[in-house]
Amino acid sequence: MAWERAKERSLKFTLFFYLVPMMAIVGFSEWFGLIKWGRWQPDIMRVKYFAWDEAATSEIVQMFLMTLIIFICAYFIKALGETFHGRHTYKQTLTVVIYALSPIFLFRLLDLIPTITLWVPWALGILFVWKIIYSGVPLVMEPDPPHTFGLFFMSAFLITAVTGVERFVAVGYLTGKFRPFAEAVHQIAHKLHLQ
């Protein structure tokens, strides 16, 4: 039933009344968490409290990366569907990707706990992503029955790989191990006059 309703909704509704509020809630929560509770830094063996501008830039960059991931994954899943002789629209694939990534955003709220390993929320989210894609691909994209499992598997694998790379960069930055990304965040904050 939920997929039937999602299929009938316009892309504008899905983007502006589902995706944007979800990203805003998660981004604001993570920003607040970085300022208020900080993030455990194994190199210095203590919790680092982020300045508001550094946390804001970090969240802006992370939300930009997640937006990019959503649109790129939808494009590649559409292309994958064509290799399985499917005629899927970009709206169908974008709908599947947006709803499938909901658990990733939901479990990112666990990032507020300063000492939690940041891979745990991602791993929990990915488990649910696979479950959602398993039902979403056949119901929304409607591939030919013999190609359904292949399209599901390739879509789930693609989302897992791409979100895994994003999480690798975020974990490296937030735990103080990925200096190039930290320098890029500082430069972006300086250009946006947040510092």
One DSSP character per residue, 75-144 reads HHHHHHHHHTT----HHHHHHHHHHHTHHHHHHGGGGGSTTS-THHHHHHHHHHHHHHHHHHIIIII---
Domain count along the chain: 1
The answer on pLDDT for 181 being more than 80 is: no
Q: What is the mean pLDDT of residues 5-30?
A: 93
pLDDT bracket for residue 195 (50, 70, 90)? low
Residues 83-101 pLDDT 10s? 766 678 899 999 999 999 9
The pLDDT value recorded for residue 188 is 74
Mean pLDDT computed over every residue of the chain: 89
**Percent of the chain scoring above 90 in pLDDT:** 55
- Give the number of other CB atoms < 10 A from CB of residue 34: 24
Enter the pTM of the model. Answer: 0.86
Q: What is the mean pLDDT of residues 53-77?
A: 92
Identity of the amino acid at 18: Y
Residue 98 burial by Cβ neighbours in a 10 Å radius (0-12, 13-18, 19+): buried
**Percent of the chain scoring above 70 in pLDDT:** 96
Q: In whole angstroms, what is the distance from residue 120 CA to residue 79 CA?
A: 31
The pLDDT value recorded for residue 86 is 66
The pLDDT value recorded for residue 32 is 96
Residues 70-84 pLDDT 10s? 999 999 999 988 876
**Residue numbers of the domain that contains 89:** 2-191
